[in-house]
Structure 1
Amino acid sequence: MAITVCIVDDTNDIRHALEEIVRLSDEYELLGSFASGESALEKIPILKPNVVLMDINLGGISGIECVRQLKPSNPDVLFMMCTVYEEDEKIFEALSAGANGYILKKTSPIKLLESIRELSEGGAPMSSQIARKVVTAFQNRGPVQENLVGGNDAKLGVLSNREKEILELLAKGLLYKEISAQLFISQETVRKHVYHIYEKLHVNNRVEAVNKFFGR
């Protein structure tokens, strides 16, 4: 079954190029393409794509604000920022707004399509430059918390050592198959651990889990 995609970008040439990349692959289906955040806010809840490629600077409402408004009422829609921005502030603002991935526009067409598939399969794709910034930010926070603290978090309990180990690997951007190989366990076992991590942390995806556990 094809992965359905919407594109939001106010630069015509870039938007048309992204449209062609998606259209030329049988594994993906383009549901809609929009030149403004306002149009996206109106149409995406109706189209309900699997993945949205979202630019940040849209002239009117920003892509980050667009994600912030759409995500709560459309939790199953996965948003991947596709932008020229590499600043830490933009990256973490986008992830905090609900973005599930963050890639740069200079990403090759093949890598772009791979990232869309990875996102739809539970991953959180990021361009290597972005992933390094995210990992560095987490490392600068010091050791992983041993216990979740404060408010309702106290009721969530602590992750097992294996779950913490897997969460740290997720934070580094590893795919399930890479985690499987590194820990010498099956991909299905990795999936089960990830499911329990999401359940314990009351989150829906990798980025939310990492942000919550590391206290961002």
Structure 2
Amino acid sequence: MPQISVLISDDHTLIRYAVRNILEGRPDYRIIGEAANADGTITMVRDLKPDILILGLGLPGKSGIEVLYQIREEELPPMTVVLTMHESELMIRQAIMAGANAYILKTSTPEELLDTLQRVREGVRNIVPNRFQYIIDELTERAASNKPFKRGEDDPLQKLSKREREVFFMLADGMPNRTIAKELFISPRTVETHRARVIKKMGFTSTADLIRYAIKNNLLIP
């Protein structure tokens, strides 16, 4: 197989060092860069066009889930392996539905990481820890039968537009409407419109519900 270019993205220097140490010296992989935050990750993906992105979820600036959405929406090239400490069914579901090829835990062994990367480069998708395989089986079955998800079972973020997701994460991080407006170069009234749509689409009754959901599901920016 040809050499595979890899970009490592994680907010912890030690994790990036460990992954680099595992892959360096192997003739089938070439590390082309490291990123420590969300914006840097997106920029390096655009500029360097890695074959595989190893992505942490707790990135400063945006969550890793947001990065996955942006990669998919911009049709950027890399296959993506999420490397995280979160053993959360919802996080796995969100990552896979947002476009991740694989989801692996930071408690995994180097051999497990290498096996996951090998399977991804061979074209295998939806790789998750064995005990969570039922999530993929369920998603695959529903996709094949064209069954709708029951309320509460699917990822509520899938219901939102790109702009609404941006507003969701800013609201979850406690930003007031005027600050969001300045950040997104829109009016406070437009922010309020997006806020109302987000709350309605996600089945909440208030911004407090939104924040509680984000905290419960580890979606807040560290």
Measured against aligned partners, the alpha-carbon deviations of 1:101-157 in whole angstroms (never above 9, x if no partner) come to 11111111122112112111110232223324433x459x78962xx589xxxxxxx
Change (3 A) 1:21 1:133: same
Q: Secondary structure at the match of 1:49?
A: coil
Name the SS for the 1:31 alignment partner: strand
Q: Is the 8 A contact 1:52 1:77 kept in 2?
A: yes
Alpha carbons 1:103, 1:130 under 8 Å: kept: no
User: 5+ residue gaps in structure 2?
Assistant: 149-222
Partner of 1:134: 136
Q: Measure, in 1, the Cα distance between the counterparts of 2:14 and 2:132.
A: 24
CA contact 1:34–1:40 (8 Å) conserved in 2: yes
Change over 3 Å in CA distance of 1:144–1:61 after alignment to 2:
closer
**1:65-97 deviations in whole A, cap 9, x for unaligned?**
011111232353111111111111111111121
How far apart, CA to CA, are the structure 1 residues paired with 2:143 and 2:72? 30
Q: Is 1:114 aligned with 2:110? A: no
Distance in structure 2 (CA, Å) of the matches to 1:111 and 1:2? 19
Which residue number corresponds to residue 26 of structure 1?
27
1:75 and 1:86, CA in 2 relative to 1: closer, same or farther beyond 3 A?
Answer: same
Residue 26 of structure 1, CA deviation:
1.4
Identity of aligned residues (%): 27
Offset, 1:7 = 0.7
Counterpart residue number, 1:56: 57
Q: Residue in 2 aligned with 1:5?
A: 6
Q: Which stretch of the first structure deviates more once superposed, 126-135 or 1-10?
A: 126-135
Change (3 A) 1:60 1:117: same
Alignment check: 8 A CA contact 1:5 1:32 kept: yes
Counterparts of 1:95 and 1:143, CA distance in 2: 13
Counterparts of 1:116 and 1:149 in 2: how far apart (Å)?
31
Q: How far, CA to CA, are the matches of 1:50 and 1:143 in structure 2?
A: 27
Question: Given residue 43 of structure 1, which amino acid in structure 2 is its aligned partner?
Answer: M
The residue type paired with residue 41 of structure 1 is: I
Give the structure 1 partner of residue 16 of structure 2: 15
Residue 55 of structure 1, CA deviation: 0.6
Normalising by the residue count of structure 1, what TM-score does the alignment of the two structures yield? 0.61
How large is the RMSD of aligned CA atoms in angstroms?
2.4
